[in-house]
Amino acid sequence: MSDPRKDPLTLREALIAQALTDLDGLVARIEALPEQIAVHEAKALAVADALKEASEKYEEAARGFTKDMMASLLKNVHAEAQKAVDAVDAQAKVLMLKSAQEAFGKSAQEAHRSLQAAIGTMIDGKLARLHKRWLFGMLTAVSASGCVTAGVVLFLR
């Protein structure tokens, strides 16, 4: 924003410019999320395939046991598989939440800081112009009242 023709002239323009910049950053981060999710999904699928293969091996081993033993073993295998699937599901949720927090958490903090700086700059500029106008008004009023007073004194003498 070094070009004075491109600097916002009003608080509204500054807020719009800031909002558009922040929106652009959010869009870029949102566009990056599918890639991150795809990587985590691939990892989860690999773990699920490994679990499926392990479950099949356990089932083959269980066929050699008696029916009671096989039922007990299958129950344990399914319980362990469910625990593993739940752990993978929880890990996937944590990774997705972490990715979303990284994408949006930094963005919100940066947006707050830049908006605060933009508003501060606009307010400082407005206050300086108001101060100059007030001083000019006061000097004009003092000059005018001095001239009128001198005219009245001369007239009355």
Q: Mean pLDDT, to the nearest integer, of 111-136?
A: 70
Q: Which residue has the higher pLDDT, 74 or 109?
A: 74
What does each C-alpha distance from 42 to 5, 21, 34, 47, 82 come to in angstroms?
A: 50, 33, 12, 9, 19
Tokens of 145: 């009242």
Query: Domain-by-domain residue ranges, the chain?
Result: 11-115
Q: Mean pLDDT, to the nearest integer, of 130-152?
A: 71
pLDDT at 1 over 50: no
